[in-house]
Amino acid sequence: YPGRSTDKNYQTRAAHLKRHLQEAGVTILGPSIKATYNGPLTPFFMRRNEAIYPIDGNLDKTSGLRSQRSAPNACEGEATLY
């Protein structure tokens, strides 16, 4: 998601992603993770952040959700809101 990585923005985006995952019947395996990518001098309108949930890797192909395989010893997959 674009903009500043404030707690309010993160909580809003994480809740949005969680709701969509639950509606799609995806099993969430843990709490959300906040990912920020830009340094403090990057203008707010150019910043990119993510809310990430670890999920069960068995996704329905019609759900429209992105699945990323992680490292071998990590969780089974991740769902990300960009």
pLDDT over 70 (residue 60): no
Q: Averaged over 70-78, what is the pLDDT?
A: 45
Chain segment 6-45, per-residue pLDDT in tens: 999 999 999 999 999 999 999 999 999 999 989 889 998 9
- Separation CA 21–CA 66 (nearest Å): 11
Burial of 26 (0-12, 13-18, 19+ CB in 10 A): buried
Cβ atoms < 10 Å from Cβ of 79: 24
What pTM does this model have? 0.68
Per the model's pLDDT, the better-predicted residue between 36 and 68 turns out to be 36
Judge contact between 27 and 56, C-beta under 8 A: yes
Judge contact between 78 and 53, C-beta under 8 A: yes
pLDDT over 90 (residue 58): no
